[in-house]
Amino acid sequence: MAFWNRISRPYPLITSSIPVIRQRRPLSMAQAPAWLKPVLSDTSVPPTLYAWTPANLNLPYTPQRRDIQDESSRIYIIGIGNLGRMYAAYLSLVTPTPPPITLVVHRESLLSQWIENNGVEVTRQGVLHQSKAYDIEYWSEEKPATGPVQQVQPLRNVLVTTKATAAMPSVDRIRGYLDSQSTVAFAQNGMSKLWPPHGSAYMTHRYPNGNGFNALLCVTNHGVLSEGPFKSLHAAPANVSIGSVFPGHDVSQNYLAQQILAAPFIDAKAFPTADLWVVQLEKLVVNACLNPLTALLRQKNGFIFQNPDGPIIKVLDCIIAEASAVLQALAKSDASTSILASSESDIAILRQTLVERFSFDKLRSLVYAVGEKVKENRSSMLQDVCAGKGTEIRDFNGWFVDMATFLDPSIDVSTNQKLVELIENGAAQLDETSLSQSMLK
Torsion angle, alpha carbons of 142, 147, 148, 149, to 10: 20
> Strands across the sheet with 231-236, in order?
127-131, 120-124, 231-236, 223-228
Q: Residue 419's closest CA among 315, 317, 321, 328? A: 315
Q: Residue 45's closest CA among 173, 184, 181? A: 173
Judge contact between 376 and 302, C-beta under 8 A: yes
Torsion angle, alpha carbons of 148, 154, 157, 162, to 10: 70
Phi, then psi, of 420 in degrees rounded to 5: -60, -45
Among residues 231, 283, 332, 418, the one annotated as catalytic is 283
- Using a 10 angstrom Cβ sphere, with 0-12 exposed, 13-18 middle and 19 or more buried, the burial of residue 301 is buried
Q: How far apart are CA 262 and CA 363, in angstroms?
A: 32
Three-class secondary structure of residue 101 per DSSP: strand
Cβ contacts of 204-210, under 8 Å, gap ≥ 24:
205/39, 205/40, 206/39, 206/172, 206/175, 207/175, 207/179, 210/180
Q: Which residues of 368-390 are buried (b: 16+ CB within 10 A; e: fewer)?
A: bebbebbeebbbbbbbbbeeeee
Among this protein's residues, is 362 annotated catalytic? Answer: no
- Beta-carbon contacts of 341 under 8 Å, excluding residues fewer than 6 positions away, are 247, 347
Three-class secondary structure of residue 115 per DSSP: helix
The total of other beta-carbon atoms located within 10 Å of residue 180's CB is 12
Q: How far apart are CA 247 and CA 223, in angstroms?
A: 29
Q: How far apart are CA 57 and CA 113, in angstroms?
A: 12
197 upstream amide cis, omega within 30 of 0: yes
Helix (H) or strand (E) holding 138: strand 135-140
Which residues are the active-site residues?
A: 283
